[in-house]
Amino acid sequence: MTDAAALPGQPRGAVVSGPATARTVNVLAPNPSAMTLDGTNTWIVAEPDSDLAVVIDPGPLDDVHLRAVIEAVERSGRRVGLTLLTHGHPDHAEGAGRFAELTGTKVRALDAALRLGDEGLAAGDVITTGGLELRVVPTPGHTADSLAFHLPADRAVLTGDTILGRGTTVVAHPDGRLGDYLDSLRRLRSLAVDDGVHTVLPGHGPVLEDAQGAVEFYLAHRAHRLAQVETAVEAGHRTPSDVVAAVYADVDRSLWPAAELSVRAQLEYLTEHGLIQG
């Protein structure tokens, strides 16, 4: 058995529905897969003495799950006051419209197409529903509209798919861009180093207890993959699919289509920086 403390980010353990920090509760969606790991983590965030809760990423369009989220909020003596999205991928956002219908809440997101109501989300915004202080952190790269939410009172950050609880994330080219993603990781590292964040509450996988360690692992992983892709191109592997076969040979082939998205982003990055010829 591997010691969890020795793994990147120090994962807490099994992914379960229930409290994660003083102000957060996870409701795990029943949509496990190779891409979603154990399923989507839908986060309920609330001040301990508040009667309002914020829900982040209602998840897939699954009435059983959406009602389970509402029931978890109501069991705590609260009601849903606001719905937020980390990004627009269906496993996080497809159920948002139905959830808003069930709860009568607005949906705030960076992408205007995903919003229900007049307010969006932008860098520097602070969510104060129910007395919360939840700071919006731009983290483009996985997708162009990716956001994280900094919860200073719990020294935590909710990262969506920018940092996962297990494995690494896809830079979903062409919407996602590797340069943006690296900048986002450095922004999250600053939260850990300068703002005392130590807990990562990811969109998939277990809670991580070592935010800085998780970010450093991600940055090192990306540097390693870039070097591998550059070497593969120099060896004559020119198409994205050829590079995937060379670099990701030890990865389950069912994940190669997702890996190709990241490879396309890596090739674009290397070309833009003059490290390979387009």
Are 91 and 41 in contact by the 8 Å Cβ rule? The answer is no
Per DSSP, the residues of 144-178 read TT-EEEEEGGGTEEEEETSS-SSS-----TTTS-H
192 pLDDT more than 90: yes
Report the chain's mean pLDDT, rounded to a whole number: 96
pLDDT at residue 278 in the model: 64
Residue 153 has pLDDT above 90, yes or no: yes
Q: Mean pLDDT over residues 238-262, rounded?
A: 94
- Give the bridge partners for 127, in sequence order: 134
Across the range 266-272, mean pLDDT stands at 96
Amino acid, res. 105: T
The answer to whether residues 140 and 154 touch, using CB atoms and an 8 Å cutoff, is no
**How many angstroms separate the Cα of 196 from the Cα of each of 26, 155, 156, 209?**
22, 6, 9, 12
- The predicted structure's pLDDT at residue 275: 87
Tokens describing residue 202: 């990811």
Contact of 87 with 136, CB cutoff 8 Å: no
Using alpha carbons, select from 210, 151, 152, 148 the residue that is nearest to residue 185: 148
pLDDT for 121 beyond 50: yes
d(CA 167, CA 164): 7
* Whether the predicted pLDDT of 5 surpasses 80: no
Range 41-45 average pLDDT: 98
The alpha carbon of 29 is separated from its chain's Cα centroid by a whole number of angstroms, namely: 15
Stated pTM of the model: 0.95
Average pLDDT, integer, range 164-192: 97
Instruction: State the pairing for strand pair 41-45/52-56.
Output: antiparallel
**CB count in 10 Å sphere of residue 198:** 17
% of the chain at pLDDT higher than 90: 93
Q: In what order do the strands lie in the sheet with 24-28?
A: 18-21, 24-28, 41-45, 52-56, 79-84, 107-108
Banded pLDDT at 277 (limits 50, 70, 90): confident
Answer yes or no: are the C-beta atoms of 261 and 35 closer than 8 Å.
no
Torsion of CA 124, 125, 130, 132, to 10 degrees: -10
Average pLDDT over residues 148-157: 98
Rg (CA), the chain: 19
Q: What is the mean pLDDT of residues 118-134?
A: 96
- Helices 256-272, 211-234: axis angle to 10 degrees equals 80
Q: Which residue has the tokens 């007049």?
A: 118
pLDDT confidence of 45, banded at 50, 70, 90?
very high
pLDDT value of residue 7: 84
Given a cut of 90, whether residue 238 has pLDDT beyond it is no
pLDDT for res 2:
46
